Amino acid sequence: MIPILLSTRLSQAVNIEDLRELARRRVPKIVFNYIDGGADGEWTLRENRRAFETVTFRPRQAVAVPACELRTQVLGMELSMPVLLAPVGYLRVMHPGGEIEAARAAGRAGVGLILSTVSGHRLEDVKAASTAPVWYQLYLTGGRAAAESAMQRAMEAGYQVLVITVDSAVIGHREREVRDGMEQLLRGSVWSKIPFAGQVLAHPRWLARFLLDGGLPDMPNIVTPEHGVLRVRDAHTAMKREAFSWGDMRWIGALWKGPIVIKGVLSAEDAKRSLDNGAAAVVVSNHGGRQLDGVPPSLQVLPEIVEAVDGQAEVLMDSGIRRGSDIVKAIGLGARAVLCGRAYVYGLAAGGEAGVRRALDILRADLERCLKLLGCPSVRDLNKSYLRAPHC
């Protein structure tokens, strides 16, 4: 009965906002706000959406587009549409299937998935769950030895690309998480958890699944020689200690045998620095407004980065993608493909693999409809001439 009800609710979701609402009802407030929230006053989070609203379309009317080509290649890899699932940490807390169910959905949809370092599932199992490209995102949490071991395992498991996130010198101050007791729930004593227990007890179905899954997952891809697998309660402290700096590119580049992508680029200078350090692609990203509040929306920065890179590497973008028309705008402004974060995570929290599939179906249908209404036969043909963009 419950699975039928769930699939009806998912299929009734007509856009990502509907999936967000379903997620809000299905998981405790703290889990929802971990997904949904941004840093500080959430200005960048809001501006990420507003930037898409300021770009408008310039359609070619009465152009017959009987079949639309959504396929594209990113770093030589075929994707059924220009979308990769962004690296998102702690997916297993949103749904026990977490990264594995997201990978299955990505594989079925033929889109890429980037696995976060902060995953509760073993990277080998996630890779095995998808037939589409799977990339590995690296944080230096746990130190160099832990990173080297993860990179070695990722290469052996068949990960094609390494993504290095450069915008996380420290973790952003996400006020909703502080208010809802993230610190106490992750690391506090039993007594300190009590004031926040109500929000968890209000979701018995989520709680039962969470407890049957063993509670808070450890980090099986962060293994240090001294401490073994990193415990989740130590992850925040470990992240604070070990942030990436450009000097690390030398040993990372020597070990990783494949393309490297730099994620979190927000200036022409850093785009050029990424190229000088051998990046095959950059991701224009402000981490979905979760790190430095006050940085501009990624969409606004995208043209500057495309110009600086000047065809020497591929440019991807993320932050704020909720509709197929957003994907069209990003590609029209020069992105090769986009990363979706919350758009698929709302789906995962709402209904595991089926929820992620619903999110991807929604984005694909939107994308195709938008191209047809624009009179553009292929995502590869999109360019600025289909848009009116104030900041270009």
Ligand X SMILES: Cc1cc2nc3c(=O)[nH]c(=O)nc-3n(C[C@H](O)[C@H](O)[C@H](O)COP(=O)(O)O)c2cc1C
Applying CB under 6 A, the residues found at the interface with ligand X are 34-35, 48, 86-89, 116, 118, 137, 165, 263, 285, 287-288, 290, 318-321, 339-343
Distance CA 143, CA 152 (A): 15
Beta strands in 58-154 (DSSP E): 72-74, 77-79, 83-85, 112-115, 134-138
Which is closer to ligand X, CB of 90 or CB of 376?
A: 90
Of the pair 290, 357, the CB lying nearest ligand X is at 290
* Residue 266 or 376 having the CB closest to ligand X: 266
Q: Which of 95, 121, 203, 287 is catalytic?
A: 287
Is 227 catalytic? The answer is: no
DSSP assignment letter at 82: S
- Nearest of 385, 284, 282 to residue 332 by alpha carbon: 385
- Cα 11 to Cα 8, 66, 101, 347, 355: the distances in Å are 5, 26, 18, 11, 9
How many whole angstroms separate alpha carbon 88 and alpha carbon 347? 13
Per-residue tokens: 132: 């589409």
Please report how close the Cβ of residue 165 comes to ligand X at its closest, in angstroms: 4
Give the alpha-carbon dihedral of 151, 111, 79, 133, to 10 degrees: 20
Looking at beta carbons only, is 248 or 376 nearer to ligand X? 248
Q: How many whole angstroms separate alpha carbon 279 and alpha carbon 271?
A: 9
Residue 262 or 309: the one with the smaller Cβ distance to ligand X is: 262
Taking alpha carbons only, the member of 54, 58, 55 closest to residue 375 is 58
- Residue 193 CB, nearest distance to ligand X (Å)? 21
d(CA 98, CA 294): 31
| CB closer to ligand X out of 93 and 376 | 93
Burial status of residue 362 (CB atoms within 10 A of its CB: 0-12, 13-18, 19 or more): buried
Residue nearest to ligand X (CB): 341
Residue 69 CB, shortest distance to ligand X, in Å, is 24
Question: DSSP letter string over 6-31?
Answer: HHHHHHH--SHHHHHHHHHHHS-HHH
Give the shortest CB-371-to-ligand X separation in angstroms: 21
CB of 363 to ligand X, least distance (A): 11
Active site residues: 287
